[in-house]
Structure 1
Amino acid sequence: MSQQLPEEWFIKDARTNAAIAWLFVAVLALTAVGNLLAGEPVTAVGAGVAVAVAVVPAWVAGSWTRTIPWPLLALTVAPFALNAAGLVLVAGFVRSIAVATLALLVVVALQLTTTVRMTPGFAVWFAVITTLGVAGIWAFGSWAAATYLGGTVFFTTNTELMLFFARTLVAGLVAAGVFAWYFRRRLRENATQRPTGELA
């Protein structure tokens, strides 16, 4: 499906990265609770899924230092934390960014825990497609929560729903671009620092 790379894309077995990453995982867990208390069950579930995806690499490898790069986790924390803070004016954009960053976590977890290997270019488009898939699940979950749980406001018009998908697509493109830039830079640094292809 994709070209094998001589180097891994990701930081592995780096204690500094792992320590910072686990801090952000803890913050993500707190935002899940905060969103639940704020009456946002779908966003709370999204944050909970983000926590689960973030811990999978360490669980599969059996090493606490096998973690997703902390800058990606920091990017993931931001929208969930803003939503938990109740910033209604930016809620629409925050929701779209949350979906995009959650999709990126899934892409990185696949790379770290399976035999799937993606080039940066392919990963950009895969992340965008994954973002749209997560957006569909998110929209369905929001409708279900609004219908059966109450307290969650779902989109009142079809236009609002389409705007959500459009914003999510843009957020997915931007997030995927940042994703590719970050890991292209990591590959260049790894090639310069360790010609044999071993990551720090």
Structure 2
Amino acid sequence: MSQELPNEWFVTDTRTNAVITWVLTGILATAVIAHLFVGYFVGAAFATVATATAVVPPLVVRSWTHTLPWPLLVVASLPLVLGPLQPAFLGQFFVGVGVAVLGMLVVSTLQLTTTLQMTPAFAVFFVCITTLAVAGFWAVGSAFSAAYLGDTFVETNDDLMLIFSVALVAGLVSGFTFWLYFRWQLRREQSPPRGVEST
């Protein structure tokens, strides 16, 4: 997989997808204001990144239908829904998966707006590292919020290590899934069209 990561793998161009994605984007933008209002700055920062990632593709291409696939945006929004609930192992796993998906969407956005180009292999590595980094940022922000705003936080170091461990597992699982997806996409692009024999 030496090819560069194509942007169209994470962008679709249909009206139905665009309508749903724009509705979700509006909800994310509202979540930014709501989190700022209650002083949950970690959630506000995450929602801001998700919102910006969603609006960049149509702005760059100048087409309102050129949007992210709405299922990916839903998965990327899971940390905003599950994070404040301080879920157990399974919930934390899905939070990590959401972070990983957002990380991959950020990679696609960076390639759309900058000269940065990543290979699929490096993109997978980037997703795993980003998942751990966001887990650390989330933990520090939650601890700060608990200390100064009266929110709740993990009670023991074991609980905190569980969060990081689950984030690592979620990042690795997501990275491996993306790797399989990239291999499938490359194989599909390199195969001759149906009914056409290769010479």
TM-score by length of 2: 0.72
Greater RCO between the two (CA within 8 Å, min separation 6)?
1
Match of 2:108 in 1: 108
What is the CA distance between 1:174 and its match in structure 2? 1.8
Query: How far, CA to CA, are the matches of 2:54 and 2:117 in structure 1?
Result: 18
Aligned: 1:170 with 2:169: yes
Relative to structure 1, the CA distance from residue 74 to residue 97 in structure 2 (aligned partners, 3 Å threshold; closer, same or farther) is same
CA RMSD in angstroms comes to 3.5
Match of 2:54 in 1: 54
Match of 1:157 in 2: 156
TM-score by length of 1: 0.72
Q: Which has the larger radius of gyration?
A: 2
Query: How far, CA to CA, are the matches of 2:122 and 2:19 in structure 1?
Result: 30
SS in 1 for 2:152: coil
What is the CA distance between 1:127 and its match in structure 2? 0.8
Equivalent residue letter for 2:46? G
CA distances 1:36-85 after superposition (whole Å, capped 9, x unpaired): 7888552343223211222123333433233333332132134433457x
What is the CA distance between 1:33 and its match in structure 2? 5.9
CA distances 1:113-148 after superposition (whole Å, capped 9, x unpaired): 223222322211111012122222222211222222
Match of 2:26 in 1: 26
Structure 1: runs of 5 or more not aligned = 196-200
Tell me the number of residue pairs that the alignment of Structure 1 and Structure 2 aligns: 192
Contact 2:3–2:120 at 8 Å: present in 1 too? no
What is the CA distance between 1:183 and its match in structure 2? 4.1
What is the CA distance between 1:168 and its match in structure 2? 0.7
Identity across aligned pairs (percent)?
44
What is the CA distance between 1:180 and its match in structure 2? 3.1
Structure 2: runs of 5 or more not aligned = 195-199
Aligned: 1:125 with 2:125: yes
